[in-house]
Chains A and B, each alone.
Chain A
Amino acid sequence: DAGVIQSPRHEVTEMGQEVTLRCKPISGHDYLFWYRQTMMRGLELLIYFNNNVPIDDSGMPEDRFSAKMPNASFSTLKIQPSEPRDSAVYFCARGRQWTSSEPQYFGPGTRLLVL
């Protein structure tokens, strides 16, 4: 158990619909990361938070993507409107301070299919 809960585990939606992915990390970790995995691009970082504040969102593909972290135990990644090219597995990961070798621990992922 990596201490990260993601929901839903699978999501199928139609193009143009809004999609909200959820992440619940266990408390005590300062960092929260959102990754996307596709066959074409591999694993890529979308955004990460430190103490609930977005630090680096340079990986967010476009304005259709947004992420929030209202508290230390909850984060959302929203896609509006969704497109077929957004189909991927989306991972949430937690981590501590960057000054140690402590790794990032990943949730089980949400498999998103946009038709």
Chain B
Amino acid sequence: AQTVTQSQPEMSVQEAETVTLSCTYDTSESDYYLFWYKQPPSRQMILVIRQEAYKQQNATENRFSVNFQKAAKSFSLKISDSQLGDAAMYFCAYRSASGGATNKLIFGTGTLLAVQP
């Protein structure tokens, strides 16, 4: 079974600085998708960024980018120019691309990010 591990329960960053959140996963599959979701205090789950495993190029969305290392099964999230609104819980998630009964997201335990003014 696939698992997702986020080893940093909490992180802190100064406003305007850069922070990297770690995520590792375990799978025997070669084709899958990876996601980062943000959950602010409102509890809404918001998609931050996604990555297809077959793509070597790291995904980027404005100030958010990932470092995807397939061989190492690592999928870290980098937030540049951190803003107060980035303060939230961040979840890494895995989804198989093989279909069938594996269309569910498997989540890590989350990293709580604090942004200091």
Residues of A within 8 A of B (CB): 2, 31, 33, 42-43, 45, 48, 50, 55-56, 89, 91, 93, 95, 98-99, 101, 103-106, 108-109, 111
Contact = CB atoms under 8 A, between A and B. Distances in A.
Closest 10 CB pairs of A and B: A106-B45, A98-B103, A43-B107, A45-B104, A101-B33, A103-B47, A56-B101, A101-B52, A98-B99, A109-B43
B45 A31 contact: no
B95 A109 contact: no
Contact of B104 (A42, A56, A101, A105): A56
A103 B50 contact: yes
Contacts of B45: 91, 93, 106, 109
Question: In terms of DSSP, what is the predominant structure of the interface of chain A?
Answer: strand
Given A48-B104, A104-B105, A98 B97 contact: yes
B95 A98 contact: yes
Interface string B69-104: 000000000000000000000010001110101111
**Interface hub of A31, A50, A95, A101 (most chain B Cβ within 10 A):** A101
